[in-house]
Amino acid sequence: MQMFYKAFLRHPASVGKSYAGHLWGAWRYGWQLQKAACSAFVHGLLPAVCETTASDAVENLYKKGQAKDAQKNT
């Protein structure tokens, strides 16, 4: 049971989430990064397309992370 807890539950609990809540949040975050990466590849091939899409996505994720940190510290 201890190994199960360490592998699946300790980290989500340390950030105040259930396993499912953490899973969904991590997948959502990963999906946003995937879209940003695809936009960057498209922009590399066609410079006039997706000019700021990838950097905008990364900036938005950063701002969301900063807002969460600020919430935790209040």
Q: Where do the domains of the chain lie?
A: 24-74
CA distance 32 to 34: 5
pTM given for the model:
0.77
Question: Is residue 52 scored above 90 in pLDDT?
Answer: yes
Token pair in block for residue 71: 């919430």
Rg (CA), the chain: 17
Structure confidence by residue, pLDDT tens digits, 14-45: 989 999 999 999 999 999 999 999 999 999 99
CA distance 55 to 37: 10
Question: Is residue 71 scored above 90 in pLDDT?
Answer: no
Percentage, residues of the chain above pLDDT 70: 99
HSE toward the beta carbon, residue 52, CA cutoff 13 A: 3
- Taking residue 50's Cβ as centre, other Cβ atoms within 10 Å add up to 19
